Structure 1
Amino acid sequence: MSSEQDDPSSPQDDPSSPQEEAPPSAREAAPPGSQDSAPPPHSGEEGQTGEAAQEMALGEATSAEGEGSAEDAVASDLLNFTPSDEGLILSEEEELELKRIRSRPRTVQSILSESHSQPSHRSSKFFRSMSGVPNLQETLKERQARFREARENRKMKIDPSYKYVFEILSHSLGLEFVTVEELILDCPSLDSFDYFFMKDGSKTLKFLYQEGDSPGIECGRIIPGVTKGAKMMRLYIDNAAPEELKGPCVFFIRCRSDITINIKNIHEEVLFTVLDASSGLLVGIRNMLAKIFLPAILATNNWGALNQSKQGESEKHIFTETINRYLLFLDGARISIEGTVKLKKIDNVDFSKLHTFEEVTVAANNSETVRQLEDVLMIWYKQIEQVLIESEQMRKEADDSGPLTELEHWKRMSAKFNYIIEQIKGPSCKAVINVLNLAHSKLLKNWRDLDARITDTANESKDNVRYLYTLEKVCQPLYNYDLVSMAHGIQNLINAIRMIHSVSRYYNTSERMTSLFIKVTNQMVTASKAYITDGGLNHVWDQETPLVLKKIKDCIFLFKEYQASFHKTRKQILESSGEKSFEVSEMYIFGKFEAFCKRLEKITEMITIVQTYSALNSSTIEGIDIMAIKFKNIHHGVKKKEYDILDPRRTEFDTDFSGFMSKISALEVQIQAFMNSTFGKILSSQQALQLLQRFQKLNIPCLQLEINHTIERILQCYVAELEAIKKLYHSQKDDPPLARNMPPVAGKILWVRQLYRRITEPINYFFKNSEILSSVEGKAVIRQYNKISYVLVEFEVVYHTAWIREMSHLQYGACDTPRWRCPGP
């Protein structure tokens, strides 16, 4: 006792101590054996609250001990004069917190020793000491003043950097700036701001806005309209936040840690975002990733070195798909949590009184208790029975669900059933079973059957999850949309399914194997669609024709590889002894992929047609621009379709495809008629052939037949031209027309060469571009051409030889040495 009296931390010994607090309550100070009661306080005593009255009532216990009773009464009397915290709001948790941080209070013995040390005071159970009241009242005022002063000190630290954060909080939370400032000042410390702003300080600063207990006296202000222990919206900083996050969280992140954050650089160096956990933390994280970060990642074009190679594009795609899979994982976790079944809570039964064997025996002998527990058991029985019925029903799944959705389904089922089993093995359910077992209740037979069913179902789901986990790694290429690696990994995937089929106890049925293969096919089709459209970014019609045709070719190759691997594995199973064969329907497995490939073949045909007829836009043939406009309208009619043309389930594509082909057929007829009219009157075979070459450059298949007919007509015109040139030669060979200022011999040679070129250019074109010269008519034309060309060449050779002969004489004369007569004198 003496050590407690000499405690230097006592407020009585050191009034100026900053840790001086109000004395302990009567619940803390009164010894357990005290039975003396103090007289009630005066009715006019100020500051008396309901709490003080309760403390006084607690001190009115009687005691059988003689000497200690008087001291206890004095202590109780002194405590009854403790002033209340009128006008202040303190919750029970905050009171406990203050008691934990305050200085050590004086004990009852120290108070009594001081009362005995004054000789003028008489030891009596009715005695009240008034000496400590003024000191206690002053202590409360000092506490209030100290907390107000601390709040003012925190307010003085607010600089423009703080205000920048406050403004963002105000905008993000929909609060007034003043409200945000007051809520921040309610926090006992602003050191988190200093650590965040300082060099090499904290990288994050978090604020949580949610409902909590109203702040107590330590906040330094009185909150109007908020009573003690009431709930209110509060703004927590960093580690001061409660463990359960159930409101919006605004967090700030520093870009660099090697500089000090100030008002000049805070808008450049600090980023922020909002995590809304009002509907749960999983939902908040999922929404933040799906609605903020993933769209920002997809919208960015600055990927650095990844933009410079095809491998970089693949890495970007893998990264985004990893985020998508994580979002699916969060959805699965949320669904698993929401899908747990909790056995109904029974309020009218005290299960804590059914723990010992004696309690269970007494309950079993009470027919009313047994009947009540049987009702409880039936409630739980019906709950579990309903869960089992729902699990056995055919579940609804998306038409494009992949193999990993099967794993997620069984994970959810395993979590649901295991949680039910945990509750069955819990103390409440065990207590009910023990009582009904001793009472020989007839319900236990049905309950044991249900227990066996739920246990077997839980084991099934656990076993399925264990084996389906082996698919997770080999299925990753299906979700990366890389058809090259996908084609190489198909055999590993089918081998993994084969292992599950041969080893699994529950999952080796024909129905489940077929369902699993169908999901694999679904994911392949989904991956192929994403591969063609670059993850949905580029439409089929907006890509370069060679590129999109190569992608379609790769998808068809994947389908053939898938079929080949399946047939190879099936053959191996049939050849092996003792292994159960795949009893699955190939139509169900490959039907969707086969329909997808047929759709790709139709799309390929449309793309090829579009590529072919696009030549009309660049052609310079007079009058063909009308045909180009008609084709452009047909093409735009196909491109403006809003449905997914790669989805084989969209049957409207087949209708649009038939309409497209019929319009193209009509356009072909019009182009053929246009070409026929263009060559309606051929004036010259050379000009006709030049125009024909321009039609041939269009490379439109429907014109090939019309081109052959046109060549026949040009050949007939050519025959007439041969006859005309033959007549012209015979009529002008003796005196051919010469060009102006041309020498006679050279003029004649030039004249005959022009005739020769007129008959040679058409025959060369026929020989290179058509088989018409192989026909009977063509051979006759060749004979006629040979005769005329021989004559023309002979004419040129004769005149050229004669010219050379004449020139040789002139050359010899020119080479003689000139002789000059020297004139004599």
Structure 2
Amino acid sequence: APGPIAEIELWRDRASVLSALCQQLKQPMVQKILDVTTKANPAIIHTLNGTIADLSKYHSESDNNVFFLKTLERHFLNLAAGSDFTMMKETIPEMMESLQIIWQISRHYNSNERMVPLMERIAWQLCEQVSRGLHVLKLLKVNREEAYSMVLCAKSVLEQWKSSYYDVRAAIEKSGRAPRWEFDHKRLFEISDYMASVCQDLCYVFQVQKEFHNFFDPDMKSREQIKEMLIRLDGLVSLFEEVEFDPFNISENGNWKKVMQDFDSALGVIDEETIEFVDLAFKTVHSSAAAFEMLLKFQQIPFRKAINDHLKRKFDGFLIQYCNEVDRINKIFDAEKSKPYLVKCETPVAGSITWARTLFCQIKEPMLSFLKAAQMLGSEQQSYM
């Protein structure tokens, strides 16, 4: 297996074999054979000593590498288990700190030739576990919140891998006591970055579904138009169910982009229908205050950019409507102030005050609602207020 555990096993096996050879060379019988061979052919002593020296050097190197790599074994096992993305994410920073120490004090893992292949193995292990843990068809069949959480955790694992690399590089550069920590980014991050982008796409799919379902309240969902729209929205997952390739395979990047483009195109139609429904809903509201309260309710839900932009453009419309209402109330006041409508049993003065206060409240209440919205402060209609 190309995972990092294989790197430890490689050096353990090599250390074991070389240790056995070194021990055999120390046996009395072998020493006698070497002595006889040397006396019989003195010229061979130089070659023999060189070979024994190389053997000793390789044995020392293997032991040294096993000693340092053992400090990583626990982390590598956590990554290989891969059943919990949260555990994997928590493992990465500690593992990278251990790699930093090895890079700084090891005699053999302080060069690109040794460290890059090891980190490639780690990157492969991370990507392999994410690919195994996120099967698109299975994700579409579980609870939407659960699927979203799983994909988000997997994405954070892949991003943690890259961010921890840069954290270590910054620490090493700051210390100035070790060779520069700068490796081939394509070898280490090309696949993990691509897989993180696929995770982001999947998060987007689940998030869009969630936002549409949250956007419409139970009363709206009871309408046939909205029911049919949400059914079509949920039906868009069929685009992913029909996928016959592994989305996490970087060679399928073009095919995956095509799937996401088809999803966005279908979603654009639903966006337009939602905007039409929202416009129709606002037309049924007669006062600017009631319409504005409805708008604030919609604004509290994170939503699609096209729909959010459309809602934001309605702020000026509400202010214009409010200004018209103020003008209407002002005309009522001017027309009736000399003889206002009085409730029975009220004196003329008290009744006039009540009447004027009622008109004032009709102006004040929408104003207080408008002041809650930051968008209003930059509106072109603000000067009318």
- The structure, 1 or 2, with the larger RCO (C-alpha pairs under 8 Å, 6+ apart) is 2
* Alignment match of 2:96 (pick from 456, 477, 490): 490
- Aligned partner letter, 1:591: E
Show the counterpart of 2:6: 405
Q: Distance in 1 between matches of 2:203 and 2:372?
A: 32
Show the counterpart of 1:664: 267
Write out aligned runs for 1:766-781 (5 A): 766-769=370-373, 771-772=375-376, 777-780=381-384
State which structure, 1 or 2, has the greater radius of gyration over its C-alpha atoms.
1
1:487 Cα offset (Å): 0.8
Q: Distance in 2 between matches of 1:503 and 1:660?
A: 50
1:518 Cα offset (Å): 0.9
* Alignment match of 1:514 (pick from 116, 129, 132): 116
Q: Distance in 1 between matches of 2:183 and 2:375?
A: 56
1:626 Cα offset (Å): 4.1
Q: Distance in 1 between matches of 2:13 and 2:322?
A: 84
Write out aligned runs for 1:159-558 (5 A): 401-409=2-10, 465-470=62-67, 471-481=69-79, 482=87, 483-496=89-102, 502-503=107-108, 511-526=113-128, 541=144, 543=146, 549=152, 552-553=155-156, 555-558=158-161
1:408 Cα offset (Å): 3.2
Q: Distance in 2 between matches of 1:757 and 1:479?
A: 69
Conserved in 2, the CA contact under 8 Å of 1:525 and 1:596? Answer: yes
Write out aligned runs for 1:631-780 (5 A): 631-635=233-237, 637-638=239-240, 651=253, 652-680=255-283, 683-700=286-303, 701-739=305-343, 742-745=345-348, 747-769=351-373, 771-772=375-376, 777-780=381-384
Q: Distance in 1 between matches of 2:263 and 2:357?
A: 53
**Are 2:193 and 1:594 aligned?**
yes
Conserved in 1, the CA contact under 8 Å of 2:288 and 2:366? Answer: yes
Write out aligned runs for 1:545-624 (5 A): 549=152, 552-553=155-156, 555-566=158-169, 568-569=171-172, 585-618=184-217, 620-621=219-220, 623-624=225-226
Conserved in 2, the CA contact under 8 Å of 1:529 and 1:646? Answer: yes
Q: Distance in 1 between matches of 2:133 and 2:92?
A: 11
Conserved in 1, the CA contact under 8 Å of 2:289 and 2:365? Answer: yes
1:519 Cα offset (Å): 0.9
> 1:555–1:592: structure 2 CA closer, same or farther, 3 Å change rule?
closer
> 1:677–1:460: structure 2 CA closer, same or farther, 3 Å change rule?
farther
Q: Distance in 2 between matches of 1:685 and 1:718?
A: 6
> 1:704–1:591: structure 2 CA closer, same or farther, 3 Å change rule?
closer
Give secondary structure in 2 for the equivalent of 1:768.
Answer: coil
Show the counterpart of 2:36: none
- Aligned partner letter, 1:767: L
Q: Distance in 2 between matches of 1:649 and 1:774?
A: 48
Identity %: 17
- Aligned partner letter, 1:520: I
- Aligned partner letter, 1:758: Q
Give secondary structure in 1 for the equivalent of 2:236.
Answer: helix
> 1:591–1:468: structure 2 CA closer, same or farther, 3 Å change rule?
farther
1:672 Cα offset (Å): 2.2
- The CA RMSD measured in Å over matched residues stands at 4.8
TM-score of the aligned structures, taking structure 2 as reference length:
0.66
Moved more, 620-629 or 715-724: 620-629
Q: Distance in 2 between matches of 1:693 and 1:629?
A: 26
TM-score of the aligned structures, taking structure 1 as reference length:
0.35
Q: Distance in 1 between matches of 2:195 and 2:265?
A: 23
- Aligned partner letter, 1:491: E
Give secondary structure in 1 for the equivalent of 2:372.
Answer: helix
What are structure 1's unaligned runs of at least 5 residues?
A: 1-397, 421-448, 783-825
1:615 Cα offset (Å): 1.1
- 1:582-629 Cα offsets, whole Å, 9 max, x none, are 895343233333334444444444454344333135453465444433
- Aligned partner letter, 2:321: C
Conserved in 1, the CA contact under 8 Å of 2:75 and 2:91? Answer: yes
> 1:484–1:699: structure 2 CA closer, same or farther, 3 Å change rule?
closer
Conserved in 1, the CA contact under 8 Å of 2:11 and 2:66? Answer: no
Conserved in 1, the CA contact under 8 Å of 2:18 and 2:59? Answer: no
Show the counterpart of 1:241: none
Q: Distance in 1 between matches of 2:352 and 2:341?
A: 8
Give secondary structure in 2 for the equivalent of 1:743.
Answer: coil
Q: Distance in 1 between matches of 2:150 and 2:360?
A: 48
> 1:415–1:575: structure 2 CA closer, same or farther, 3 Å change rule?
closer
> 1:569–1:589: structure 2 CA closer, same or farther, 3 Å change rule?
farther
Q: Distance in 2 between matches of 1:613 and 1:763?
A: 30
- 1:515-540 Cα offsets, whole Å, 9 max, x none, are 2221122234456678999xx99979
